Amino acid sequence: MEVKRFLDHVDDLGIDFFTGVPDSLLAPLCDTLYLRYGSQGERHIVAANEGNAVGLAAGHYIASGRPALVYLQNSGIGNAVNPIASLLHEQVYGIPCLFVVGWRGEPGLHDEPQHKFQGMVTVETLELMGVKTFVLEKETAPETVGEYFARCGELLAQGRCAAIVVRKGALTCEEKAVYRNANTMTRERALELVLEGAGAEDIFVSTTGKASRELFELREKRGEDHSHDFLTVGSMGHALMIALGVAVDKPQRTVWCIDGDGAAVMHLGGLVIAAGMARENLIHVVVNNTAHESVGGMPVAAGQADFSALAKAAGYRSVFQAADEAALRQALAALKAAPGSRFLEIHAALGSRKDLGRPTTTPRENLDALRKTLG
């Protein structure tokens, strides 16, 4: 279905505010919203996480009396459960909201391992929370789509929530947004320099998305195995706490957390916890390309944020940043000798190699290999 027609139906419901976290299956919707309204405006806000988006939708309804549309990948339902169940639900405030959910890991379709279980329980989870769910597929007839939206309108009028779960390829778009930033150093090259500057026995915990894929391929390029890395293929925003947990238990090991700006923003409180723990064996690296690149490139919420300043405010003792190779080499050299808790912000270009692969080991194999290394 062409996304403009989809949005015509949304408009008929009186919805004029959009918020959410980008998803690759919803790229036609995300691109169109970005082209129409930008990413941080009165009509459209890219949220830090899905729970934040539900809060924004609730605030919009409280102020205007009109429901909002919240878009998300099904992996983000977990972040939204609490505000859906304890804020929106008809047994609490009865705040209506229309959810548009990208269905990763749909049963019967090949997908990455982190999406399999969530894909199995997507519709069941939404329905369990009282969110009436309709599935949009490529073959859904226009009159059926109209019936879906008519039913959604009835539910919203009753102070209830509804969701349209979008299968792969069900939404199309004539115009694709182009996302870019002014940085020149690629994330992959930055990670290569970080590996060169790290110790042979150091442990790496990398965030979900392309950073983990690049780390995997860099190890292959260097002729190394993957027994010192934890590739966080899911659980966006939690890599720092995973790394902190490892660092606390293994104080003799230097642990690098390779984070992304979108992931760091998603659960920003982690910076405060990690800085407060003041572990000298933990190095937190945020690769900042101002975008949700793995799901299309839409700008990150608060993409203008100064992560180095945030790290200092959170309490990191030694804070560095770099935007080119020379500066990164200098920062890495200083970082290794710096005292206390350490933080590095790397400003990276948007984009990756077209032939970038995916890990060829399973998550369980990755975990088992790292567990043997840690002993």
Helix axes 3-12, 27-37, angle to 10 degrees: 70
pLDDT at 39: 87
pLDDT tens string 112-141: 888 888 889 999 999 999 999 999 999 999
The share of the chain scoring above pLDDT 70, in percent, equals 99
Write the CA distances from 206 to 197, 282, 289, 349, integer angstroms: 16, 13, 16, 18
The share of the chain scoring above pLDDT 90, in percent, equals 85
| Tokens of residue 159, six digits | 């102070």
| Residue tagged 């997908």 (tokens) | 111
pLDDT, mean over the chain: 94
Residue 302 has pLDDT above 80, yes or no: no
Output helix, strand, coil percentages for the chain, rounded to the nearest 5.
45, 20, 35
Residue 367 CA neighbour count, 13 Å, CB half: 6
| Burial classification of residue 291, based on how many CB atoms lie within 10 Å of its CB (0-12 exposed, 13-18 middle, 19 or more buried) | buried
Task: Write phi, then psi, for 199 (nearest 5 degrees).
Answer: -80, 155
Where are the extended beta strands (E) located within 125-219? 132-136, 161-166, 203-206
| Residue tagged 């009028």 (tokens) | 157
Per-residue confidence at 303, pLDDT binned at 50, 70, 90? low
Task: List all residues 6 or more positions away from 34 whose beta carbon is below 8 Å from its beta carbon.
Answer: 44, 177, 298, 299
pLDDT tens string 244-253: 999 999 999 9
pLDDT at 346: 97
Q: Catalogue all structural domains in the chain, each as residue range(s) with its CATH number.
A: 3-166 (3.40.50.970), 187-374 (3.40.50.970)
Decide the pairing of beta strands 298-299 and 291-292: antiparallel
